[in-house]
């Protein structure tokens, strides 16, 4: 084989690299698409340019060609090219291909830069996701604290209500005791009135004694008159006793009248007070009971309200917990998806590795061109070796899909031969 075969091989390699890169970009690397598309465009443009140049300078028709007319009689245009011109073209071609490693180096640099850039971006994304999650978690804690404090206030208020209910019972009891005390006072008051009536009897008896004393004094003064001069002193005493009796009777009559009037008044007043107190007591009891009932009812309402609020708090808690779980799961899922960066990195690193191998291939090709020698290295070997570095199913599939595109007539599905294609993504042994 002549040097033209090597040049053609280079073209095919570059096209293969392009074919490799394009399906890779259509895979899972959506997040980094902009970087890769630039690099692929550069590879595609570069490959196309080389192809055009080779076709132009060597006037290569379709199919495998050789510059050696003896080896390949189908090509006859080469004899028309002047040897001097051909030399110039060869030098240009060698010079051009010599530039390929430098271009590849730039492309590798771009790809490495893209890896670094995506890595930094992803790290920042993770930090921001963590910040979102932490903030959400802090928010939940703040709400929980606020609700807990509110609950504490409610518990305190509830305790107060319980105390107030007890107080209501105490008020009720105290009121009953109060009523009993008033009744006792009235009873004593009535008893006092009865005792006044007892005094009236005593006054009557004293009046009776006074009347008898007056009669005795009268008899004594009669007897003293009969006794003459010797009974004079006795007559004076009898007269004085009689006067005293009259006065006593008079005073007693007056006192008795007043006592009776007082007792009568007391009796009337007692009855009146009893009526008033009874009426007032009933009214007050009604009002008091009504007030206590109202108070208890209000307290019960507040208690029920607290229970509703407490239930609402439970709902809020539950809602917050649910939201927090959704945030947590979403953040976790996003962080899981971020693993695409590692996947892209590995695939790009593999592309870099292959570009470096392509470099070696190009350098070898230049060397051969310069020495007008042939080589045993084949493009199929390079393609076959690419597979050794694949770790992902997607890499194998992209490779298989490109090759099956070129071998449609064979009718075989390369995917079926890929190891682990049917294995589950998650497996516990």
Partner 1 sequence: MVKKIMVVDDSATIRMSLKTILTNAGFEIVQASDGEEALKMLQDGTKPDLIITDINMPKMGGLELIKNVRKLPRLRFVPILALTTESAQEKRDEARKNGATGWIVKPVKGADLLGVIKKVLPGT
Q: Does 429 bind partner 1 (CB under 8 A)?
A: yes
CB 189 within 8 A of CB 299: no
393: contact with partner 1 by CB under 8 A:
yes
Taking CB under 8 A as the rule, does residue 81 contact partner 1?
A: no
Residue closer to partner 1, measured from CB, 52 or 391: 391
d(CA 315, CA 328): 20
Nearer to partner 1, 241 or 334 (CB): 334
Distance CA 229, CA 342 (A): 160
Residue with tokens 């899972």: 28
Residue placing its CB nearer to partner 1 in the complex, 127 or 272: 127
Q: Is 94 exposed, middle or buried (0-12, 13-18, 19+ CB in 10 A)?
A: middle
| Distance of alpha carbon 251 from alpha carbon 50, whole angstroms | 158
Using CA atoms of 225, 228, 230, 233 in order, give the dihedral in degrees to the nearest 10. Answer: 30
Q: Which stretch binds partner 1 (CB under 8 A): 270-278, 313-321, 363-371, 390-398?
A: 390-398
Query: Smallest gap, in angstroms, from Cβ of residue 339 to partner 1?
Result: 4
**How many chain residues are in contact with partner 1, going by CB under 8 A?**
39
Helix axes 3-25, 340-371, angle to 10 degrees: 170
Least spacing, CB of residue 125 vs partner 1, in Å = 9
Whole-number minimum distance, CB 32 to partner 1, in Å? 12
CA dist 194 and 270 (Å) reads: 11
Residue among 5, 18, 39, 122 that touches partner 1 (CB under 8 A): 122
| Subset of 19-48 contacting partner 1 (CB under 8 A) | 28
Out of 106, 222, 265, 391, point to the residue binding partner 1 (CB under 8 A). Answer: 391
Binding mask 124-163 for partner 1 (x = CB under 8 A): --x--xx--x------------------------------
CB 186 within 8 A of CB 335: no
Residue closer to partner 1 by CB (options 127, 184) is 127
3 state SS of 68: coil
Sites for partner 1 among residues 318-377 (CB under 8 A): 328-329, 331-343, 345-346
Over the window 266 to 285, marking each residue x when it contacts partner 1 by CB under 8 A and - when it does not, the resulting string is --------------------
What separation in angstroms does the CA of 33 have from each of 24, 29, 41, 178, 348?
A: 10, 6, 12, 92, 12
Name the residue nearer to partner 1 (CB basis): 14 or 400.
Answer: 400
259 vs 193: CA distance, rounded Å:
10
Place of tokens 């694949």: 390
Q: 139 or 248: whose CB is closer to partner 1?
A: 139
**What residues line the site for partner 1 (CB under 8 A)?**
28, 119, 122-123, 126, 129-130, 133, 328-329, 331-343, 345-346, 391-393, 396, 418-421, 423, 425-429
């Amino acid at each position: 084989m002549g040097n033209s075969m090597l040049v053609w091989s280079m073209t095919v390699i570059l096209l293969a690299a392009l074919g490799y890169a394009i399906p890779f970009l259509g895979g899972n690397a959506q997040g980094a698409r902009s970087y890769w598309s630039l690099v692929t465009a550069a590879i595609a443009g570069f490959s196309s340019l080389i192809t055009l140049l080779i076709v132009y300078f060597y006037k290569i028709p379709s199919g495998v060609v050789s510059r050696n007319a003896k080896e390949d009689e189908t090509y006859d245009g080469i004899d028309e090219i002047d040897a001097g011109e051909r030399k110039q073209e060869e030098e240009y071609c060698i010079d051009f291909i010599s530039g390929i490693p430098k271009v590849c180096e730039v492309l590798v640099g771009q790809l490495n830069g893209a890896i670094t850039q995506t890595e930094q971006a992803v790290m920042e994304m993770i930090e921001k996701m963590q910040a979102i999650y932490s903030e959400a978690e802090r928010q939940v804690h703040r709400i929980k604290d606020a609700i807990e404090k509110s609950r504490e206030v409610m518990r305190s208020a509830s305790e107060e209500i319980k105390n107030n209910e007890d107080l209501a019972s105490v008020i009720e009891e105290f009121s009953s005791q109060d009523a009993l005390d008033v009744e006792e006072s009235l009873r004593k008051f009535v008893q006092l009135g009865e005792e006044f009536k007892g005094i009236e009897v005593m006054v009557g008896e004293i009046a009776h004694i006074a009347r008898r004393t007056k009669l005795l004094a009268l008899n004594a003064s009669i007897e003293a008159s009969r006794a003459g001069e010797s009974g004079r002193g006795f007559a004076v005493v009898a007269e004085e006793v009689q006067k005293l009796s009259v006065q006593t009777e008079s005073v007693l009559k007056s006192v008795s009248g007043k006592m009776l009037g007082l007792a009568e008044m007391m009796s009337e007043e007692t009855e009146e007070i009893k009526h008033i107190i009874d009426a007032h007591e009933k009214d007050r009891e009604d009002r008091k009971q009504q007030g206590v009932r109202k108070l208890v009812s209000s307290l019960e309402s507040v208690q029920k309200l607290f229970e509703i609020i407490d239930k609402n708090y439970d709902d809020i808690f539950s809602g917050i917990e649910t939201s927090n779980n959704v945030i947590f799961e979403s953040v976790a899922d996003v962080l899981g998806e971020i693993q695409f960066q590692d996947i892209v990195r590995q695939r790009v690193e593999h592309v870099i590795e292959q570009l470096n191998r392509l470099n070696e291939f190009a350098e070898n090709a230049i060397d051969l061109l310069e020495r007008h020698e042939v080589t045993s290295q084949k493009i199929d070997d390079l393609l076959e070796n690419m597979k050794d570095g694949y770790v992902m199913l997607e890499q194998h599939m992209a490779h298989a899909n490109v090759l099956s595109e070129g071998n449609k007539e064979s009718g075989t599905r390369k995917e079926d031969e890929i190891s682990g294609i049917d294995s589950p993504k998650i497996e516990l042994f």
